[in-house]
Structure 1
Amino acid sequence: MGKRILLFILTNILVIVTIGIIFTILPIGSYITESGNIDFAALLVFSAVIGFTGAFISLAMSRWMAKKMMNVQVLDPQGPLNEHERELVDMVHRLSRSAGLTHMPEVGIYHAEEVNAFATGPSKKRSLVAVSTGLLQEMDRDAVEGVIAHEVAHVANGDMVTMTLLQGVVNTFVVFLSRIAAWIASRFVKEELAPIVHFIAVIVFQIAFSILGSLVVFAYSRHREYHADNGGAHLAGRDKMIHALQSLKAYTDRIKNEKDSSLATLKISGQKKSSLFSTHPALDDRIQRLQQG
């Protein structure tokens, strides 16, 4: 899920900055009164429109962006597949039916050494479950099934939609606060320079506040991981889910001392302790919770 969240947040920042620039250039949604002060009610409405529009555009683009950025090869269930690809598709579909999904997710593989998998998409009907070649090579069948069950649980739980609603709220505050900060900054320069300073400050503050706002999204992501672990345990069996997490931990422990430590980033989880900027709790905590039932 780590990549899903990071791709979503990156797309969201790009979309909301672009929309903000367009709305700033065009005479749309003016919130500055004739006296030069801010109409806070108008600004709040303006911010909510931009914030939720940006979040839902990011959601709509999520599956397409993941395919393009990760170069995912989507497997056609009706097309010619080798033994391993067929087994992967069948596994995803079987777990999806067990989760109560009536529309099967697209199944994809992307070439990377990292051990990773993610689920994304704008809805349960238009979802994607993708795994890396590294995961298929490093893990045995039971561990792979546990990982996929975890990702299918994200789809069944509707985590992308709830994440989008949360992101919309965060975006609203980002737009609102960035424009107040930009207006304050523009008051400290000459009147003829104020519009230019305001325009530049809006972009700078919006990016800065978006990064800070992502901490809220990361915290929610960590919270939802426990639910997806429980969902994966229900679909594949608790032993397989625990085995999958233990396999991930063994892999991250093995590579952490290797020279190319970059492989330890952007994984399903590679940290010993979760941090404010991590999308997943520590693997030890996740394993312990499952073992305790």
Structure 2
Amino acid sequence: MMRIVLFLVTNLAVVLVASVTLRILGVDSYLDGAGGLNLNSLLIFCFIFGMAGSLISLLLSKKMAKMSTRARIIEQPGNSTEQWLISTVGELSRDAGIDMPEVGVFPARQANAFATGWNKNAALVCVSEGLLEQMRPEEVRAVLGHEIGHVANGDMVTLALIQGVVNAFVMFFARIAAMVLDNFLRSDEEGGGLGFFGYIAVVFAFEMVFGIAASVIVAWFSRWREYRADAAGARLAGSGAMINALNRLKAQKDMQDEMPGSMTAFAITTGQTRQFMEKLFASHPPLDDRIRALKEAAYRQ
């Protein structure tokens, strides 16, 4: 449940802070025309601020990922494992048609990995110490292929754009709903309505409700991209190795997830939930579903 809470908070934080701040400063007062809201201006306003937070997060994604996971970037390989890791990522990157990403290792007992970055030719791929210790080389290679697949597919950029559009529409419809309620409560004479602080509170409440609903869309796309990344891992490293790697991840289902909440959507090892609501907001499909999809794809070939 905590993973769902962190996912929703991440999606809503920029929108809510921007909304309250802009209203207090009176920046959005120009939206009130003679007939009420100017919908064209409102949509442009919401699009600009909705996209801004998402794009800023994307631009800072590598730095934030390094800080939150305490990843150590391999500048110069210090041992044979690091040398193999650099060589393997380089080979997979060439096969996928992208530039060599930064490669790092982060401290975690759990087998895990992630990829991030604002540009597929300036990305970051990291694996956990637990993954290197627990998986065979061909399985690690498959996980790296999965992460390289995310990069080559441009998943980080696409997810940021979708989140930005979702943020914009959450802000847009929250203000329309608040204005409708304000007009309903306003009498024909002066006074009435929600008032300044009442309007802020109502917009905040509507943004929470719409934001939760919109997060379902973002989560659906995040799950869909995992299937694509699994297919890329199978293509780059072999279906058997990718399936074995996912089975290996299933074996650690009782181990505490050590990934920061902000990085959950970019990690490979999530998707163990079976509750309907958790599935609805999950960033990853269940591992059994991912394994089944790979086996069906291999059978069709």
Query: Is the TM value for this pair above 0.5?
Result: yes
Residue 137 of structure 2 corresponds to which residue in structure 1? 141
Q: Which runs of 5+ in 2 are unaligned?
A: none
- Give the direction of change, closer, same or farther, for the CA distance of 1:203–1:142 in structure 2 (3 Å limit): same
Residue 72 of structure 1 corresponds to which residue in structure 2? 71
Distance 1:263 1:66 in 2: 13
Which letter maps to 1:161? Answer: V
Residue 169 of structure 2 corresponds to which residue in structure 1? 173
Distance 1:262 1:106 in 2: 24
Give the superposition deviation at 1:186.
4.7
Give the superposition deviation at 1:194.
0.8
Q: Select 1:124's aligned residue among 115, 120, 123.
A: 120
Paired residues in the alignment total 280
1:109 aligned counterpart, secondary structure: strand
Distance 1:8 1:160 in 2: 16
Report the more deviating stretch, 234-243 or 198-207.
Answer: 198-207
Q: Which of structure 1's runs of 4+ aligned residues deviate more than 4 A?
A: 5-12, 184-193, 260-267
Q: Deviation per CA, 1:46-87, whole angstroms, max 9, x where unpaired? A: 1111122222112112112111222221111xx252222222
Residue 226 of structure 1 corresponds to which residue in structure 2? 227
Q: Does 1:236 align with 2:240?
A: no
Q: Does 1:44 align with 2:43?
A: yes
Distance 2:6 2:97 in 1: 27
Give the superposition deviation at 1:13.
3.3
Residue 286 of structure 1 corresponds to which residue in structure 2? 290
CA contact (8 A) 1:170 1:213 kept: yes
Q: Deviation per CA, 1:28-61, whole angstroms, max 9, x where unpaired? A: 34222356x3222221121111122222112112
Which letter maps to 1:114? Answer: Q
Distance 1:110 1:10 in 2: 24
Give the superposition deviation at 1:251.
2.5
Distance 2:235 2:59 in 1: 29
CA contact (8 A) 1:178 1:205 kept: yes
Q: Does 1:211 align with 2:212?
A: yes
2:118 aligned counterpart, secondary structure: strand
Report the more deviating stretch, 123-132 or 185-194.
Answer: 185-194
- Give the direction of change, closer, same or farther, for the CA distance of 1:14–1:52 in structure 2 (3 Å limit): same
Q: Does 1:15 align with 2:20?
A: no
Distance 1:71 1:272 in 2: 27
Give the superposition deviation at 1:196.
1.3
Which letter maps to 2:296? Answer: Q
Distance 1:9 1:125 in 2: 29
Residue 196 of structure 2 corresponds to which residue in structure 1? 195
Give the superposition deviation at 1:105.
0.9
Give the superposition deviation at 1:113.
2.2
- In the superposition, the TM-score normalised over structure 2's length comes to 0.82
Which letter maps to 1:59? Answer: L
Give the superposition deviation at 1:24.
2.1
Which letter maps to 2:33? Answer: T
CA contact (8 A) 2:182 2:193 kept: no
CA contact (8 A) 2:113 2:126 kept: yes
Q: Deviation per CA, 1:187-212, whole angstroms, max 9, x where unpaired? A: 54865971112223333432443233
What is the root-mean-square deviation of aligned Cα atoms in Å?
Answer: 2.9
CA contact (8 A) 1:249 1:270 kept: no
Residue 93 of structure 2 corresponds to which residue in structure 1? 96
- Give the direction of change, closer, same or farther, for the CA distance of 1:143–1:218 in structure 2 (3 Å limit): same
Distance 1:157 1:200 in 2: 40
Distance 2:288 2:10 in 1: 30
1:129 aligned counterpart, secondary structure: strand
CA contact (8 A) 1:185 1:197 kept: no
Q: Select 1:153's aligned residue among 139, 149, 168.
A: 149
CA contact (8 A) 1:124 1:158 kept: yes
Give the superposition deviation at 1:115.
2.1
CA contact (8 A) 1:13 1:207 kept: yes
Which letter maps to 2:252? Answer: Y
- In the superposition, the TM-score normalised over structure 1's length comes to 0.84
